[in-house]
Structures are given as C-alpha cells and as structure tokens.
Amino acid sequence: MSLAGLRIVLVEPAGPINLGAIARVMKNFGLHYLVLVNPQCDPLSAEALKMAVHAKEILESAVVVATLPEALHGCVRAIATTGRIRSWEIPLENPRTALPWLLEEPKKPAALIFGREDRGLSNEELNYAQRFVCIPTSQNYLSLNLATAVAICCYELSQSAQPRETQTLPQTELASLDVVEAYYQQLESLLLKIGYLYPHTAASRMEKFRQLYNRVGLQSGEVGMLRGILRQVEWMLESEKDGENL
C-alpha cells in the first residue's frame, strides 16, 4: 500500500477550518484517503474549502461513515492517536517509531485514527486499534490542535515511506480488523454463556483479550481456527443441553 492508500480517519470532527487544514497537509505529504466518522460539521463548507486551498479534492472525495468499525472495514492494521496516559498495559509509542508499521504490508489497507478536537477517542473506540501513539509535547502545554497532530503524523509517515519505495517487505496474511472484531463478539458471547464473564465486567475483561491478540497480530487462518474452536464448544454445550432434556 502506498501513502495515498493509507486511511486518515477522523472521528466526529467538529471544526471546518481544521478539516480544510488537514486536507491541505495530507496533500503536502502524499496522503489522499480521508475518512470522516459522523462529522459534526460540513466538510464542504466555505470555511473548509478555503482552508484546503489546492487540496479541495481530498474533502470532495472524503468517505463519510456512521461508525468507526465502518471506517476500518477491511483494514489489517490500525494505530490510534491519544494524548492521555492510559491505565492499559500497552504502552503509548512515539509516532516516529510506531507509524512505519502501518506501511509494512504494501497491499493491505491500514488506518491512522484521530479523535475529537475536545476529548479525543473513547476507551471503546481505542479498542479498535492495535497500537497507540502519543506525540511528545512540552509538559507546560500538552494539548495539540487536531490539524497539527495530523500534520506531524503525516510528515513522519512520508519520511518513513521514502526508503520503502524500493524495498520488498515480508508478506503476512494478517486478518482484517472487522474479521477479528467478529471473533471478539463470538468469544464474548460464549464466555458470557459459560459464566467466565459477567455482564457488568465483560467490557473490561474483553479489553484484556483484545490487548493479548493485538500483541500477537492474528492472521486470517488463525482467526478461522479460533472461531472453529468456539463453534465446537458451542455445539458441545448445545448437545449436552439437548441430552439433559431427553
């Protein structure tokens, strides 16, 4: 995948000036695939188009979806940006060292996710990413403008992409995020059924499973194998239930 195919995903962007600035900086660094999740402003407003200058086509071709899973459909790699120190065991990484990972499978879609201007991404939304980056800033003022954050990440991506143009990278068949998400839903349903999970703690426990599998990097065949195990367990439970009812 070239830089042009990398998805820049904005969750509920609210500022048209920011949108225009983001379109402009994307074009500056060779990125063109913009996805807007439930935008809170008109991406084709006069303010946005004026700020985009010669990158209006990026706003005009932006894909608008209702949910983050829709924005990530088909992606095998996703990195989320966050400015918050999280209690998770997964570390926050520097963009310079983490972002090149998005380009390691040239033929597979990948995404870089940015949150809302005022509060970033929710814990639930962060669950859809495999890695997390935090742009280091001065302790005197930690908060970054959304367009500035996108610009920094686009620059780092463009720098990391330059030497990769002539490299042959190792190929793996990572499962797409929507396929893995379907596995998580099946796993949670089964664990609730057998009493390993309880409804009031299921979300926090499932976060641990997500973190575990994200560290591994599940391949398509591996997800199929895991789902096959779950189906067999479900079949056994139903068989035992039917036997008791005879």
pLDDT of residue 171: 56
145 and 29 assigned to the same domain: yes
Whether residues 160 and 184 share a domain: the answer is no
Indicate if 130 and 192 belong to the same structural domain.
Answer: no
Residue 154's domain is classified under what CATH number? 3.40.1280.10
Q: Tell me how far apart the alpha carbons of residues 45 and 117 are, in angstroms, rounded to a whole number.
A: 18
Residue 44: other Cβ atoms inside 10 A: 14
Residue, of 100 and 171, whose pLDDT is higher: 100
The stretches of the chain forming alpha helices (DSSP H) are 16-28, 46-52, 56-60, 68-71, 95-98, 123-126, 146-161, 177-193, 202-216, 220-245
| 16 and 135 in a common domain | yes
Instruction: Provide the CA 207 distance to its chain's centre, in angstroms.
Output: 15
Question: Of 123, 141, 166, which residue sits at a domain end?
Answer: 166
Distances (CA, A) of 23 to 4, 38, 64, 180: 13, 17, 14, 30
The pLDDT of residue 242 = 72
Same domain, 34 and 100: yes
Residue 219 forms part of a structural domain = yes
Q: Give the whole-number percent of the chain exceeding pLDDT 90.
A: 72
Q: In the chain, how many domains are there?
A: 2
Same domain for 81 and 47, yes or no, is yes
Same domain, 13 and 105: yes
- Tell me what the mean pLDDT of segment 105-134 comes to: 92
Instruction: Answer whether residue 57 shows pLDDT above 50.
Output: yes
Tell me: pLDDT of 167 over 50: no
Say how far residue 8 (Cα) sits from the centre of its chain. 10
The phi and psi torsions of 172 (rounded to 5 degrees) equal -130, 160
pLDDT (0 to 100) of residue 169: 44
Domain assignment of residue 210, given as a range:
177-245
What is the pTM (predicted TM-score) of this model? 0.79
- What is the CATH number for 207? 1.10.8.590
Average pLDDT across the chain, whole number: 90
pLDDT at 193: 92
Mean of pLDDT values over 43-53 = 96
User: Residue 246's pLDDT band (boundaries 50, 70, 90)?
Assistant: low
Q: Does residue 240 lie within any of the structural domains?
A: yes
Residue 172 lies in a domain: no
Q: Are residues 185 and 113 in the same domain?
A: no
**Alpha-carbon distance values, 178 to 21, 189, 205 (Å):** 30, 17, 20
Do 154 and 236 belong together in one domain? Answer: no
64 in the same domain as 119: yes
Q: Let me know whether 150 and 34 are in one domain.
A: yes
